[in-house]
Structures are given as C-alpha cells and as structure tokens.
Structure 1
C-alpha cells in the first residue's frame, strides 16, 4: 500500500501546486477573507486524520462557557442534510453530524450549529453570542478568525510530511505561519527534550507562534445513562468498536489495564448499519470470558440508536485534552478575546 502511494507522487505535486496557488491568492487578497466583529476561534489541522480537534473544542467550551455566551460551528461531517442548522440534544448524527451532537449533549447550555459555509453560519450566530468556536476551519480561508489554533498529532511530525495522496497532509506545512498557537496532541506519557527540539525545529522554519504539548486524558468509563463503571478491568475482556481516524492511542491505553481487548474497526465517521451491529454482537458473544463489556468512543456513540445494544453491556470511553502549561494557554485565549 505504501509503495502504491509513492506511485501517486505526481498527483501530490499537482495537489501541492493547487494549494500553493489558492493560498497565495488569499495572501495577496485577490481572494477575499472576511473578518467578523464577534471574536472567532478556529481549531484545525493540516494532516488528515484524528489530531484531537474535538477534545480541543471541548476544552475551549469548558474554559469560556461560564463567562461568555459560547457557540460552536462545524461543517457537520457525515450528516445527510445541508445548510445551516442548530443542534439539539434530540438531534441525530444523520441530521447534524456526530461531533456537533457530542458537543451539544455534553454542553447543553451552549449553542451548537452546523453549516458548510462558515461565514454564513457566523452571520446567523453573531448577534446573540460573545464568541464562536469553529471546528475544523483552518483551511476555510473565506473567514479570517480572531485566533487560530493549529493541531499536530505527535507522530505526524516525526515523519516527512507529504501532501495527499502520497502523504497525509491536506495543506502545506508553510501554512503553519497563519496559526496564533500550535498544539502538539496525543503526545506519549514521556516525551524527551530531544523529541521536542526536533518538533520545534521543524515548526519554527515556518512560525514563531507558541507551541504547547498535550496528552489524551482518559476519563472514567460510563454507561449510556452516565453511570460510571466501578469494576476493575483487570479481569474484564473488552470488545472495542471504533469508527475514528486513529484508534491506536485508545488501544494502547486499554490493553495493559484489561484482561484482553478485541477490536472491531470501522472507518472514520462510519455510518453504522444493522449488519455492523450484528458483527459487533457476534464478536462479543464469541469472547469466552464471562466478565466482558462492549466499549466504544463518545463520537461513535452518537451514531448508534439507543435501542441497538439495550440487551448488552455497552459502555463509553470519554477523553479530554491534558495540556502542559495550561495556564499560559488559557491566558493566550482570554487575551485574544
């Protein structure tokens, strides 16, 4: 598969050229960017896959919601609707997308909206809010944000970054210069100073913005009704199913703390069907250990009808962002607003 991707190198060169021209046209203002009076915070990444945008958006919501009227705006990836829509706790992932639905169910007091056209979405929200957090909008250059947070998955910076389709970069590394701060996500529990120097050397070729490091913090597992699982997992077998871009960190976390982990993997934002649920149930039934649970992520849970696993011990693994020097990061955000 890797060899095949290298055969696509000419297409990567073409894609990179198109990106460069597009960004240059915005830089010289031949293509116009719109700035709004209301403070807007963009969270985004340059690399395809899970860089941890949702935990960062949730971090920002938690930081700001008690002092400001907060709205989040997402494209609503994977939804079967179009246009601007407000998200409600009773909405479905088909209507609004899984991540916006997760935001609304975790923070019902804030406004959550979806719209492909970010500028139009901001227009609908700006009159009644103090700040708008835009999820996955770094490449949406029609909108000029007040503050941009650019995320890089730790492992993505340890290899040579190539544009799609040979590599996983959906924009050029040079666009790092547009970020007001950079967060390296999903760092290992012990990151060496040498690794930090390598990462910072790579980034500082393009940007002098402050760099932060974060890890995934795994919160207590809970049921659909938010009852915390009190059982020690050391004797428990887990049937894990995921439809996220990068389940590797979750597997690395669960494997040493449980008796065994069987993983049923689907593609990112996978639209689950009845046959998928049958596959999951069959895999669960095949586990010999009588002490066993089915586990999934918060994002995947939004795409599951509540009745599907009503007769099975289904649990959810929530996560949050654990930032180094969080006070400094918080000060940057508050100062920008």
Structure 2
C-alpha cells in the first residue's frame, strides 16, 4: 500500500498545486470569503481525519456555553437529507450525521445544525436565532468561503502534520503551509504524562508563527460506560467485543489494554455504514463496547441492551485556563 502511494506522488504534487492556487486566490481576495457580525470559530485539520475534532468542539461548548448563546454547524457527513437542517433529539444519524447527533445528545440546550453550504447554514442560524453571539464550525479549515474570526488547527501527537505529505501519497488535504491560517494549533491525543522536554521538541518541529499559540491536549476517558438504559462502571465490564468505526482507534485500544481488559476488536472504517451482515454479526455478541460516535449509528439498529459506549473528553495539558481566557479576550 505504501509503495502504491509513492507511485501516486505526481498526483500529490498536482493536487497540492491546485489547492495552493485556490488558497492564493482567497488570500488575494480574488475569491471572496464572507465575514459575519458575530464571532465564528473554525475547528479543522490538514489531514484527512482522526485528529479529535468532535471532542475539541465539545470542549469549546463546555468552555463557552455558560456565558454565550452559541450554535454549531457541521456538514453532516454521509447524511441522507439535503440543505439546512437543525438537529433534534428525535433524529437518527442517517438524517443528520453521527457527530452532530452526538453534539445534540451531549448538549441538548445548544443549537446544532447541518448544512454542506456553510454560508447558507450560518445565514439560517442568524435568521432563526438573532441572539446568537458565537458559531462553531466543525471540520471547516479548508472551507474558505467563510472567513472565521478564529481558526483552530488540530494535529495528533503520533502523526504530526509536519511529518506528512499531501494526498494521495500522504494524508494531508493541502500543503503544510496552510497551517499559517490558524491562530491556535493544538496537538491532540498526547500522553497525559507529556513532559516539558517533549513539548519543546514538538514546538521546534512545528515552528509556530509569532501570532500562533501552541497547546497540547489529551483524551480523558470516563470511568463509566453508557447504554440506552443503563450506566455501568467500566471496571466491572469485561469479556466484550470492541467495535470501532473511527479514523484512529489506537488511543482507545491502548487505554483498554492498560486496564487489562479482555476483549475482541472489530474495526471498521471511519463513519462506516453498518450493513445487514455487520449487524447480524454484532447481534450475536453478548456484550459490545463502542465509541459514542459509533453508538449514534448503532443504537437504533441493534436490538440489545448490551450495547455500550465509553464517553471521552478532551483536556488541555499545558495552560488549562488559557483557552477560556484567550477566547474571551480575542472574540468578545
């Protein structure tokens, strides 16, 4: 597979040049980016996925929801509906996408919407909720039609964008120079024991600009697992099947193994649409543990009370109070 990717190197250069021309046209104001009367925070990455955008959006929600009326806007990846749609608790993942449904489940008081056309989506939110004072754009770093007030770029500790190359040889959506559009760069999925020396090494590798702030974050796993009807201690849950349909399940696997859990792992691709045969296979498993994103897609399809998910949160390791203060100072 790696050899095939190297053979596709000329296509990577061509794709990268196309993206560079596009970015140049936006930077030169030949192609127009639209600004809005309220702050817009864009969360995204340079790579194709697995950097922890959903937990980061939820961290921003927790950080800002008490002082601000905010909304989130996603494209609703793989949904069967079209146009603008406000996510409601009764929706299923096929109608709105798994991640937006997860946002609404975890934060029912916050307005969550989907629209592949970000300009239209923002306009609809402002029309429907005139008191909004903040919108979070999920996975929108390459969507240049909207001019964000603040861009947050995510890159994973185990796969920094500085070590990668553009598609299809690598996993980057654009050249590394695109990182200069971000005001915040957050290295995600770091070990909780990340040392100051390691932070300095990564800083030297990323080389943030003078206007950029570099933060480090890790995943905090819950001590409890949740089903449609129950809440159990993870410590008491053993001999199960782990089902993942996310881009990078390695941190979850490492966490469960560190707890000496006995489990089998069935791995699917990111945002996997579970087929009839998939569901028949999982239906035979006495106990299934999955991620919340996968739970959003499985909960209405599997007829079992033994389907659980493990909640997670993102936590900032260095300067934990910096994010809240920075956002308030820069945006409001």
Q: Is the partner of 2:174 in helix, strand or coil?
A: coil
Contact 2:227 / 2:306 at 8 angstroms: preserved in 1? Answer: no
| Paired position in structure 1 for 2:278 | 276
Q: Indicate whether 1:103 and 2:106 are aligned.
A: no
Shift in alpha-carbon separation, 1:221–1:273, aligned structure 2, 3 A = farther
Shift in alpha-carbon separation, 1:205–1:53, aligned structure 2, 3 A = closer
Q: Is the partner of 2:76 in helix, strand or coil?
A: coil
Output the aligned Cα RMSD. Answer: 1.8
- Partners of 1:91 and 1:98 lie apart in 2 by 10
- Alpha-carbon distance, 1:274 to partner: 2.1
- Alpha-carbon distance, 1:208 to partner: 4.2
* 4+ residue segments displaced more than 3 Å: 192-195, 205-208
Using the TM superposition, name which of 19-28 and 189-198 deviates more.
189-198
* Matched residues, number: 327
Deviation by residue 1:73-125 (Cα, 9 ceiling, x = unmatched)? 00001101111100000101111100000000111111000001111111111
Q: Is the partner of 1:229 in helix, strand or coil?
A: strand
Contact 2:218 / 2:316 at 8 angstroms: preserved in 1? Answer: yes
Q: Indicate whether 1:199 and 2:193 are aligned.
A: no
Q: Indicate whether 1:315 and 2:308 are aligned.
A: yes
Deviation by residue 1:158-209 (Cα, 9 ceiling, x = unmatched)? 8632000000111221111111111100012333444323321232265640
Q: Indicate whether 1:181 and 2:184 are aligned.
A: yes
Using the TM superposition, name which of 187-196 and 325-334 deviates more.
187-196
TM-score, with structure 2 as normaliser: 0.93
Deviation by residue 1:240-297 (Cα, 9 ceiling, x = unmatched)? 0011000010000001214412100111001112211222234x35xxxxxxx31010
Contact 2:226 / 2:310 at 8 angstroms: preserved in 1? Answer: no
| Paired position in structure 2 for 1:122 | 122
Contact 1:264 / 1:280 at 8 angstroms: preserved in 2? Answer: no
| Paired position in structure 1 for 2:321 | 327
- Partners of 1:230 and 1:205 lie apart in 2 by 41
- Partners of 2:15 and 2:234 lie apart in 1 by 50
- Alpha-carbon distance, 1:307 to partner: 5.6
Which ranges of structure 1 fall in alignment gaps of 5 or more residues? Answer: 286-292
| Paired position in structure 1 for 2:252 | 250
| Paired position in structure 2 for 1:217 | 220
Contact 1:220 / 1:228 at 8 angstroms: preserved in 2? Answer: no
Q: Indicate whether 1:21 and 2:21 are aligned.
A: yes
- Partners of 2:152 and 2:99 lie apart in 1 by 18
Contact 2:53 / 2:138 at 8 angstroms: preserved in 1? Answer: yes
Match of 1:232 among 227, 231, 235: 235
Which ranges of structure 2 fall in alignment gaps of 5 or more residues? Answer: none
